[in-house]
Copies of this chain bind each other. A is one copy, B any other.
Amino acid sequence: MKIDTRHPRDIRRDIRSGKITGVTAGRGQGYVQANLAVLPRDLAYDFLLFCQRNPKPCPLVEVTDAGSPEPVGVAPGADLRTDIPSYRIYKDGVLADEVTDATPYWRDDLVAFLLGCSFTFEWAMLDAGVRLWHIEQGKNVAMWRTSIACRPAGAFHGPMVVSMRPIAPADLPKAVTASSRFPATHGAPIHVGDPKAIGIDDITTPHYGDAQEFRPGDLPVFWACGVTPQAVALASKPSFMITHSPGSMFITDVPNSALAAF
Chain A residues packing against B (C-beta within 8 Å) = 44-45, 48-49, 51-53, 60, 63, 65, 73, 151, 153-154, 180, 183, 187-188, 261-262
Picked from B45, B153, B180, the residue with its CB within 8 Å of the CB of A261 is B180
Q: State the copy count for this chain.
A: 2
**Assembled-state Cα–Cα distance A262/B183 (Å):** 7
Chain B residues with Cβ below 8 Å from A44 are 45
Q: How far is the CB of A237 from chain B (nearest CB, A)?
A: 21
Q: Are A63 and B53 in contact (CB under 8 A)?
A: yes
Q: How far is the CB of A113 from chain B (nearest CB, A)?
A: 10
Q: How far is the CB of A186 from chain B (nearest CB, A)?
A: 11
New A-B pairs, 4, CB < 8 Å, besides A52-B52, A261-B261 = A49-B63, A52-B63, A65-B153, A183-B262
The 4 closest A-B pairs by CB, nearest first: A188-B262, A45-B45, A183-B261, A180-B262
Interface of A is mostly: mixed
Q: Are A52 and B60 in contact (CB under 8 A)?
A: yes
**Assembled-state Cα–Cα distance A262/B56 (Å):** 9
Chain B residues with Cβ below 8 Å from A154 are 65
**Assembled-state Cα–Cα distance A110/B53 (Å):** 18
Chain B residues with Cβ below 8 Å from A65 are 153-154
Chain B residues with Cβ below 8 Å from A188 are 262
Given A188-B262, A261-B261, the answer on whether A73 and B48 have CB atoms closer than 8 Å is no
Chain B residues with Cβ below 8 Å from A262 are 180, 183, 187-188
Given A73-B151, A151-B73, the answer on whether A187 and B261 have CB atoms closer than 8 Å is yes
Greatest chain B CB density within 10 A among A45, A153, A183, A187 is at A45
**Assembled-state Cα–Cα distance A219/B63 (Å):** 36
Chain B residues with Cβ below 8 Å from A187 are 261-262
Greatest chain B CB density within 10 A among A44, A48, A73 is at A48
Picked from B48, B151, B261, the residue with its CB within 8 Å of the CB of A48 is B48
Q: Are A49 and B48 in contact (CB under 8 A)?
A: yes
Chain B residues with Cβ below 8 Å from A153 are 65
Chain B residues with Cβ below 8 Å from A52 are 48, 51-52, 60, 63
Residue of B nearest to A153 (CB): B65
